[in-house]
Chain A
Amino acid sequence: MEDRSSPHSHQISGAEILIRCLQEEKVKFVFGYPGGAVLHIYDEIFKQDAFKHILVRHEQAAVHAADAFARATGEVGVALVTSGPGATNAITGIATAYMDSIPLVVISGQVPAPAIGMDAFQEVDMVGITRPCVKHNFLVKDVKDIAATIKKAFYIAATGRPGPVVVDIPKDITAHFAKFEYPASVEMRSYTPIMKGHSGQIKKAVKLLLEAKRPMIYTGGGVVLGNAAEELVQLARKLGYPVTNTLMGLGGYPSTDNQFLGMLGMHGTYEANMAMQNCDVLLAVGARFDDRVIGNPGHFFSKDRTIIHVDVDPSSISKRVKIDVPIVGHVKSVLAEMNELLIAETKAPDAGEIKSWWQQIDTWREKKSLVYKNSTDVIKPQYVIEKLWEVTKGDAYVTSDVGQHQMWAAQYYKFDKPRRWINSGGLGTMGVGLPYAMGCQLANPTAQVACITGEGSIQMNIQELSTCHQFRLPIKVILLNNRYLGMVRQWQEFFYENRYSESYMDSLPDFVKLAESYGHVGMNIVNPADVEGALKGAFDMKDRFVFMNFITDQTENVFPMVPNGKGLSEMILAGEE
């Protein structure tokens, strides 16, 4: 046993210091799972009630739930795991948050400092393993460093381009004693995120926007992360220009607004992709020109356009696409400055040009690229999402897993508010849906929370049904059960001549019985006529977790689709395949 040398009167243990730090940061929930290396910490958790500990059933889910809490609230999510297997189980969660720039502090236990490097029981080099998928990480080497390190971890996670920070704490250090002093502020010469954009560049951007003939506003996760939806709406309304959102940016601009062209990219609408391809001035805000968004870069560049890019991370700018007017800064302050300039501006956009641009866009809209053929025999997945939107009055927190159902959720649930659409875009992690719903429901106990999932994805974190019961989380699971790894099947249909290699889902459980065995309500819905009633019934059960197993059309595909390597305007539309 390590030495727990007796403290001076003003000293407390490292474990207690850690708890006090979390209290100072006003942490409301810690998602975690205990084990040897964090037992001192769990003992202190037992003695406090400033925050609530949510015991998950797998460490991956702890990190996902903390991540969703952060996405839904804008606060830093916190997870706590033990060393070795606890730490490695957390990796997928950390990498998922990293790819989507989500602020997290993940605390991992480590073997006692003298045992590090000895292949000790449950030892793993957490700092080494997480280095490529964190914004930063720390190994705490002295009890006196705990407070300053935690302060830095929260600061780094939340500022600039947000991201996960890992703090690895050896067990003996949580048993050593020190005086607790929480730093009031952080000063780091090596880390100074830029907030305000360059005024000259902002002026230049506004001038270009006003001179545009075929303008387009393309915004992403940065608008949501930077709480700049209001500023974006003000800007877009003032200019009267079309807006599109990335998968991560949905809700940043109200989807029911007439200036909204829908999501763009691989599964974006016809009008959004055509406008992106054919615009002459593009304003990109908090979006990173992902390969799923611009399609084939060569094709994208075959058209000439001037690009203005606002991003807090200089490395996002001119990474995949050469930018003409870079503006490094926080979205909120840059958009606010643009709005001020526009209010003072006497020049207005060329009404004639903008009108004919809108006429062009309306002809693209005529394609009605999201219209699908409904059926009275078999449930169409798109129909379920449309009904979900109606039943929840467009006001639910919607989480999804990864696959076709995710794309249908993004296309058919019209998000009008930011932080309502919670999904894994960058890493595309199957299994996030249920833990994401837990994080959302805990953050908003009375809100409607829907988890749209597939029968493949839900089984990747199905054990959390138990956590949901323990904490009485009234989540509604919308399983679009197509008995296929549908997104894989779709690619095999299109690009592998229908060779459905390992993409069927055989031997599925009876989901109703499964839900019931965890103490939840289960429903099977087979008939299209029952969809709406089932959804209403489920959402009327305000205090129950309801698992809805919708047996959907097995052959349905996601359209439009920009095939890999093709240009944005080379979409396959429904009925054209």
Chain B
Amino acid sequence: MKHIISLLMENESGALSRVAGLFSARAYNIESLTVAPTEDATLSRMTIVTSGSEEVIEQIIKQLNKLVDVVKVLDLNDGRYIERELMLVKVKATGIFRDEMKRMCDIFRGRIIDVADGSYTIEVTGSSSKLDAFLEALDKSAILETVRTGASGIGRGDRILKV
């Protein structure tokens, strides 16, 4: 099953490679990994999207906790959470595609953020599955380029990950 794991770690050089190295060394799946500093400059927050059996996920959480630079780990799937990902898609916008792309963009509540003679660049945010659905809905031949940030996640309500 897919799990979203959030963690706080010391903002030290090399901390990212410890996490990435752990996943490759122990052959854990990694679908996406995002990391950036938090409001506290000494801490980075990472969101990892992974999948595996319950036993594997339990080991992943334990192994992450074991890393000396990791301060806190939270499996967002243990409660209610919100997941968001940002995607930029450059699509053909010629002929019939020009209207079609604008309509699809509206349906998925995306925004056209760059307009050129033959193309649009569309920004869409949402859960990863919504972004997948958007790509599914587009005519494959119209997609010129995509870039996705990988998911970020946060607990709902008073589920707070903080030091």
- Which A residues fall within an 8 A CB radius of B? 127-128, 131-132, 135-136, 139, 156, 188-191, 313-315, 318-319, 322
Contact = CB atoms under 8 A, between A and B. Distances in A.
> Chain B interface mostly helix, strand, loop or mixed?
helix
Given A139-B13, A188-B68, 8 more contacts: A128-B17, A131-B18, A156-B68, A189-B163, A313-B66, A314-B66, A315-B59, A315-B65
B2 interface: no
B70 A190 contact: yes
Given A156-B68, A190-B68, A315 B63 contact: yes
B71 A190 contact: yes
B62 A190 contact: no
Interface in B88-122: none
Contacts of A156: 68
B84 to A, nearest CB: 27
B21 A139 contact: no
Contact of A315 (B21, B66, B70): B66
B21 A319 contact: no
Contacts, number: 36
A190 B9 contact: yes
B31 interface: no
A191 B14 contact: no
Interface string B30-68: 000000000000000000000000010011001101101
Contacts of B83: none
Interface residues of B, number: 20
B15 to A, nearest CB: 10
B9 A314 contact: no
A418 to B, nearest CB: 25
Interface of B: 9-10, 13-14, 17-18, 21, 25, 55, 58-59, 62-63, 65-66, 68-71, 163
A318 B9 contact: no
B65 A314 contact: yes
A190 B9 CA distance: 8
Contacts of B70: 190
A135 B68 contact: yes
Contacts of B62: 314-315
Contacts of B21: 131-132
A127 B14 contact: yes
B58 to A, nearest CB: 7
A136 B21 CA distance: 13
Given A131-B17, A315-B63, A318-B55, A189 B25 contact: no
A127 B17 CA distance: 10
